[in-house]
Amino acid sequence: MMMKTPPLTAYKIRVPLHAAAEGSGKKGNTLAFVLIFLTILSFLMVPIINIFTYSSMTAVKSKNALIALNLALQTIEEIKSKPFDDVVSMLPSDRKPFEGDWIDDASGSVKYPEYYKMFRKNIEVKTDKDFSPANKKIKRIVVTVFWDELNDERRRLTHAIKLATCISAE
Amino acid sequence: MMKDKFGKFPGTARKYIRPAGGNAILMLLPIVLFMLVFGISLIMRSSSEHTQSFHVHRQNVVTYLAEGALNIAMQHVAENLEKKYKKLLIENSLEVYNLKDKVPEIKSAVKFLIDAMPGAELTRLTMDFSDAVNFDKLQPDPNEKMGLLIFTCDVKYFEVSTTLKIVRDIKIVNITPPAEEFTLYTNTGNENNHIINSGPSIFCKNKDEENGERGSIRIASGDKGNEFYLGEKYGWADQSISPMPSPTRSEVYAKYGLFKPTQITDAISNLPKPIIGAFQSSLEIELSEFLVDPKAKNKKYSCIISINSPIVDLPKEVYGGIVYGSEDNKAKQAYGKGGLFGYPTLANIKSNKLYLPKKLYVQGLKKLYGKYTLSENMISIPVSFEPPKFVDVYIYHYGPKVAEKVVQPYSSADGSFSVSDGDGKIGIDGCAALKGSEYKKRAFYATEEINMNTMQLFAGGGSILINGVMFAKKIEVGAPKQAFVYNGRFVLASDGEMTINNNVSINEKLAAKIPSSLSLILHPKGASDANLAVTPLKYKARKITVSGETAIVLKIDASVFSYNSMEFVKDGNSGNINSGFTRLHISGNFAVNRLIKKDFSPWLFINYKKRVAEKDYGRYVVSMSPIYSAWYEEKRGAK
């Protein structure tokens, strides 16, 4: 019994590009496909790249927020660690950047990293004259750390982190 | 026939056919997906970091707000412990005290914190007194106790909230000086006859001019029964304040003060006012002729001219002569302090008559002379170039009374003091002060050594500000070149050794606002009736020169208790002078269980001051531990 062999023409012949280049006669079809693919891919990549950009921006934001928070903590703790009478009143006028000596003691000095220049602090210390007016034993402290960041629309925005407390002579 | 894997029958012609279309592109899809997932996870991670940083910020905000609110509360309580809360604490009626709602100044101060952090909310700020126990279980003073003062604060900031508790130790202690109703109190067990005018001088002014309180004088010699009880029953009486004779010295006046036995009351009260002449370079005081004829024999009288000299470190009193009812047939100068001016005649002595000098005058405002009928300069003491502002004339009476075992062993009249030991016996060593271990229990600060530096820890407003008891095995009061200036009501107690290095004084500027009193107590370990020879309280005096006169002086504005007398210690400030030339001024009272005059031997001036008030639990002070006993924080809502 003879096996029925399907006619050759019944097969859709596809050849690789190099085969086409060698004269398969099926030019263009695959290239178009590639172009379509690239187009689709580029469409797909746009949000993905955006995702990465956004992620990177968020990482920078959180890094900045944490640095600002730690700088605020450091500043408020520095004030708290001073003897009560040495904590002098200050108005929240200047926003001094964090630069210069960070640590300066017998073991040597450590400068603030260059990156920290973008952070500025505002310290407000006020004696509470309403509370125990005769003794003036309460001082109000507000520490604010500011920094600038680009937002999603590439516009510069100023952010701030604030801590407030009171210290007493007691 | 089976087809092969290419769908052909075996043996048929094979051509290369590429597998299903689009595989290469599909291969990129997982990469794209991976990038997508990776990117999203990156976003989630960085977002969560960002969120976390907000949470950390909020946690810090609530902590600082709570800390600030507690600082405000503790400051308020520390400032008002005496005025506002002492009564509540003593009477155990504080309960849970809502500081936020009940104290307007706290409410307004805390409002600042809340306003500074919009979104924050203070939900609770309270204090509670708990675990109160008495110091002495056997013989408790019900008002003396210790416990815990717990400050609690709840703060909420958006979704984060915290509860912060700070615990401070509280001690309510009795700071009544030992034997406070006595100007001078001695309890010497086996010493013999202490005569107030023999040996180095002891002068007691037993009236507190500020409040009129009087302190008795007790010189006890125990078994011998020779107790002298002076001044207890006689008061001072100001007789006159003269009109001012000179417009340039308008503030000068004189007055009589006296201890008056009833026999001479009338005579003295009828005295005319003294006449004072103040001139450019001299001051004259003319007293009236004064003659008393006391009925009772063997009484002794003394006259004191007191000049309120502006010289700070010199005694203000000039001592008059003592004329006493001796049967001696010689006119003699009676012994007194600083010299005499009265000059008794034989006839007067025999008739028990007392004369006062008629005229006193000051020349060049440097020297004061007493003058009676003889033109002799009989005393000479330095005064300043400034004219004195007051001249007081005191006449007092003293004399041996029938020995009374008044208080032996000592316990004060109202029972506020007791001496207790493990057996619960009261007054076991016949001592006016508590034992060192009792003070140690009551101390808010107990350590090995207290000196000037240590006490600076408690400085406030430029002077020492302490309320309560401080205890140490070794205490140095003041430094060689720095006086000890204090405010507050407290006790410095030691069971080892104590040295007073310099003057002790109250900061007068603050004294109007801050009631101030100090008791210096040295009650060494092992001191008892059987063991009197324990470490004495040591003191150093300062050499001062005013108007060419040199004196070695130590001034103590405090009550002093020493079990075993006091001992002078030389140092660079006193020069090469022994204790016999020193002058020790105590403004307060002096209680000494064993007074050894020959060893002690300065001139001792006791100016009685009763600084502890009776009313409103004035004998008690509340002290709060300077540091936190515990600190607890519970945060909620931070994820």
Q: Give the residue extent of every domain in chain B.
A: 30-175+629-636, 199-227+434-611, 230-398
In a domain, A40, yes or no: yes
Point out the least confidently predicted range of A52-61, B144-153, B178-187: B178-187
B34 touches chain A (CB under 8 A): no
pLDDT in tens, A96-110: 888 888 877 777 788
What distances in angstroms separate CA A8 from CA A20, A163, B18, one per listed residue? 19, 83, 16
In a domain, A35, yes or no: yes
pLDDT: is B6 or A32 the higher one? A32
Q: Do B61 and A61 touch (CB under 8 A)?
A: no
Q: What percent of chain B has pLDDT over 70?
A: 53
Q: Which helix (H) or strand (E) holds B88?
A: helix B86-90
Over 90: is that where the pLDDT of B49 sits?
no
Q: What is the mean pLDDT of residues B48-57?
A: 86
Select the residue of B17, B75, B76 nearest A14 (Cβ to Cβ).
B17
Chain A residues within 8 A of B109 when measuring between CB atoms: 128, 130-131, 138, 166
What distances in angstroms separate CA B52 from CA A54, A149, B45, B46, B49, one per listed residue? 17, 19, 10, 10, 5
What does the pLDDT read at residue B343? 36
Considering only CA atoms, give the Rg of chain B. 39
Distance from CA of B468 to the nearest CA of A (A): 15
Signed CA dihedral, B31, B32, B36, B37: sign only: negative
Chain B residues within 8 A of A48 when measuring between CB atoms: 32, 35-36, 39
B83 touches chain A (CB under 8 A): no
The answer to whether the CB of A15 falls within 8 A of the CB of A24 is yes
Chain B residues within 8 A of A140 when measuring between CB atoms: 68, 112-113, 116
In a domain, A77, yes or no: yes
Q: Which amino acid makes up residue B634?
A: E
Q: Do A13 and B35 touch (CB under 8 A)?
A: no
Query: Rounded to whole angstroms, how far apart are CA atoms A48 and A42?
Result: 10
Considering only CA atoms, give the Rg of chain A. 34
The answer to whether the CB of B157 falls within 8 A of the CB of B65 is yes
A115 touches chain B (CB under 8 A): no
Domain with A130 in it:
29-168
The answer to whether the CB of B391 falls within 8 A of the CB of B276 is yes
Query: Rounded to whole angstroms, how far apart are CA atoms B593 and B474?
Result: 20
B57 touches chain A (CB under 8 A): yes
Nearest to B438 by CA among B458, B411, B417, B414: B417
Provide the number of structural domains found in chain A. Answer: 1
Over 70: is that where the pLDDT of B274 sits?
no
In a domain, A117, yes or no: yes
Cβ-Cβ contacts under 8 Å between A and B: the total is 149
What does the pLDDT read at residue B225? 37
Residue of B nearest to A62 (CA): B50
What does the pLDDT read at residue B154? 94
Q: What is the largest CA-CA distance in chain B?
A: 171
pLDDT in tens, B298-355: 444 444 444 443 333 333 333 333 333 333 333 333 322 222 333 333 444 344 444 4
A137 touches chain B (CB under 8 A): yes
Q: Provide ipTM, 2 decimals.
A: 0.79
Query: Up-side HSE of residue A130: CA atoms within 13 Å toward CB?
Result: 12
Distance from CA of B62 to the nearest CA of A (A): 9
In a domain, A45, yes or no: yes
Residue of B nearest to A126 (CA): B112
A134 touches chain B (CB under 8 A): yes
pLDDT in tens, B468-495: 899 999 999 998 888 899 988 999 999 9
Distance from CA of A5 to the nearest CA of B (A): 7
Joined together, the tokens standing for residue B316 give 């203000």
Residue numbers of B between 554 and 573 with CB closer than 8 Å to A: none
Query: Up-side HSE of residue B38: CA atoms within 13 Å toward CB?
Result: 11
What does the pLDDT read at residue A165? 92
Select the residue of B50, B69, B78 nearest A65 (Cβ to Cβ).
B50
pLDDT in tens, B401-412: 322 323 322 222
Select the residue of A52, A76, A169 nearest B39 (Cβ to Cβ).
A52
Report whether the peptide linkage leading into residue B409 is cis, meaning its omega lies within 30 degrees of zero: yes
Residue numbers of B between 493 and 552 with CB closer than 8 Å to A: 513
Query: Rounded to whole angstroms, how far apart are CA atoms B597 and B195?
Result: 10
Among the residues of chain A, which ranges form H helices?
A: 17-21, 29-81
Q: Which helix (H) or strand (E) holds B147?
A: strand B145-157
Residue B422 buriedness (CB in 10 A; 0-12 / 13-18 / 19+): exposed
Q: Which of B60, B63, B100, B514 to mutate against chain A (most A CBs within 10 Å)?
A: B60
pLDDT: is A12 or B406 the higher one? A12
Q: What is the mean pLDDT of residues B583-610?
A: 79
Does residue B48 come out as left (phi exceeding 0), alpha (psi in the -120 to 50 range) or beta?
alpha
In a domain, A1, yes or no: no
The answer to whether the CB of B126 falls within 8 A of the CB of B163 is no
Nearest to B489 by CA among B145, B215, B146, B177: B177
Q: Which of B46, B63, B166, B467 to mutate against chain A (most A CBs within 10 Å)?
A: B46
What distances in angstroms separate CA B221 from CA B187, B193, B226, B243, B555, one per listed residue? 7, 6, 6, 47, 27
Top-ranked range on mean pLDDT: pick from B238-252, B523-537, B545-559, B567-581: B523-537
What does the pLDDT read at residue B10? 61
Query: Rounded to whole angstroms, how far apart are CA atoms B317 and A21?
Result: 131
Point out the least confidently predicted range of A73-87, B391-405, B541-555: B391-405
